[in-house]
Structure 1
Amino acid sequence: KDGRELKALELPGLWNGGMAYWNSVFVEVPDSTFNPVKTVLDLLRPAHQPIDEETHQSLSR
């Protein structure tokens, strides 16, 4: 700002170091469970739509 030099330290980890001291666990899952959202339009895909009540009840038994 105003032509002055600025020094900053960015810590490692997600969210600029907010998770620097967290323990992480990596679990391999089937590709079919991975449905990334990169744009708003990705949310329109069937994988991101709510399941109907009948299907939900049969899954929770």
Structure 2
Amino acid sequence: MWYYSFAPDYTQNTIKLTTDFFNATNDGVVNLTFHFWSGQIVKYTFVKRGTSVIGMAQ
């Protein structure tokens, strides 16, 4: 859901995943794939354990 679970920041070239997103995510490995209008696809993986989140671009 737009701006509820994520919010793009075009000036910083980033995507912010919100607290609501992480609250709805189970602990473990999560793989995300972002599809952009330009056709670019970006994959991102993170591991969530409680309130700790460690992420890495692929």
- TM (norm. structure 1) is 0.21
Name the larger-Rg structure: 1
- TM (norm. structure 2) is 0.22
More strand by share: 2
More helix by share: 1
